[in-house]
Amino acid sequence: MIKITTTLTKTPKEMPPASKLGFGNYFSDHMFLAKFVEGQGWSDSQILPYGPIPMDPAAAVFHYGQALFEGMKAFRQENGQVVFFRPEFNYHRMKEGAERMCLEAPPLDLFMSGLHELVKVDQRWIPQGPNTALYVRPTLIGTEGFLGVRPSKETLFMIILSPVGSYYGEGNKPINIWTEENYIRAAPGGLGAVKAGANYAASLKPAWEAKKNGYAQVLWLNVDQQGIEEAGTMNIFFVFKNEIVTPALNGSILGGGTRDAIIQLLKSKNLPIVERRITMTEVLKGVQSKNLLEAFGTGTAAVISPIGGLHYRNQNLVINEGEWGQLSTDLYKEITSIQSGAMPDQFNWITALK
Ligand code: COI
């Protein structure tokens, strides 16, 4: 049993209306923190008012980027029950990522106790309404103040909560993406397969440039500039007439929880989902021959986001006339209905708040 000390805020904030949320703009009243020190183990598990945390300016996270995070969602279902979507998936991915980042992963019971207790305290922050959720951000950082380049002997585990609406704004319209050929997100043997903050740092400049040109995300290619990796902060699926393809996890792609859920859903419907290498040449041919019916991105934040347009080498390729396709519509409905409780959870993805 994990002992958590709780200090409640004396100044609870006002919950913004669902229509104003956007993504990641607001934070709940409290946060969860726990500390690991080599030789001493985990201690100081606490829930306290959300706010700044004191840090040594020499902390490893500031200088050498020792940081790893997760993204998960909590919902209030139609019967009032608060649930999490696949928290074990996030725990295991964090544990594997921590190993790569030389951070200490919290034990399972610490992770789950912190998660359940924090959401219990802040459950009024779970927004109601279509396309809304309480986004949960567990994070691990190296906090030891030491400038030699070696793993931090101290890890801070934090969980913060953000009530969110849809990731790409109102309307959930299909997005346009920019195929990136100057920058790459991650190389084989690097950090691409873990949810390291560093991957997102590498993505900021190309994503910002794409945004300035009117593209919501970039399409990341492999080091060979042909193999497709991910679409911005999402995994990607291509729906061809005879098969549905998502890039195989090759060591530089992040294995998303929604990606995995979509693969399970497609398999359960006996649809021909294949995880394999897929190239730009193939996608280009698919658009030209009209063999490519739909493309969509998947992620915890975005859920399913259809790709209506793809810029590649001076061409603006249009996919499914820039509209939501049948498969993306069905999958979106199914996954959000399992989350809201409108459909039974045959895959065991839902965990009720204790
Ligand atoms: C998520 O989908 O949870 C992500 O982590 C994407 C992004 C908000 C960083």
pLDDT tens readout for residues 127-161: 998 889 999 999 999 999 999 999 999 999 999 99
Domain boundary (165, 191, 212) is at 165
233 lines ligand 1 (CB under 6 A): yes
User: Judging by beta carbons within 10 Å of its beta carbon (0-12, 13-18, 19+), is residue 259 exposed, middle or buried?
Assistant: buried
Round to whole Å and give the CA distance between 112 and 91.
Answer: 8
- Looking from the CA of residue 23, the nearest atom of ligand 1 is 8
**Do residues 157 and 36 both lie within one domain?**
yes
71 lines ligand 1 (CB under 6 A): yes
- The answer to whether position 323 is within a domain reads yes
- pLDDT tens digit sequence for 167-224: 877 568 899 999 999 999 999 999 999 999 999 999 999 999 999 999 999 999 999 9
**Do residues 18 and 156 both lie within one domain?**
yes
**Do residues 160 and 41 both lie within one domain?**
yes
- The answer to whether position 43 is within a domain reads yes
Confidence band, pLDDT 50/70/90 cuts, at residue 90: very high
- φ/ψ of residue 210, rounded to 5: -60, -40
Of 166, 143, 165, the closest CA to residue 33 belongs to 143
Round to whole Å and give the CA distance between 171 and 169.
Answer: 6
- The answer to whether position 47 is within a domain reads yes
**Do residues 156 and 90 both lie within one domain?**
yes
Beta strands 217-221 and 67-69, pairing class? unpaired
- Looking from the CA of residue 72, the nearest atom of ligand 1 is 3
Mutate to test the pocket of ligand 1, among 195, 235, 300, 304 (most ligand atoms within 8 A of CB): 300
**Do residues 181 and 161 both lie within one domain?**
no
Take atom 8 of ligand 1 and give the residue whose Cα is closest: 301
Please answer whether residues 71 and 235 qualify as being in contact, where contact means their C-beta atoms are separated by less than 8 angstroms: no
CA 342 to ligand 1 centroid distance, Å: 25
299 lines ligand 1 (CB under 6 A): yes
The CATH number of the domain where 261 resides is what? 3.20.10.10
Domain boundary (144, 165, 186) is at 165
CA 299 to ligand 1 centroid distance, Å: 7
Q: Which domain holds residue 237?
A: 175-340
**Do residues 160 and 187 both lie within one domain?**
no
**Do residues 102 and 219 both lie within one domain?**
no
Domain boundary (145, 165, 185) is at 165
How many structural domains are present in the chain?
2
Beta strands 350-352 and 315-318, pairing class? unpaired
- pLDDT tens digit sequence for 46-79: 999 999 999 999 999 999 999 999 999 999 998 9
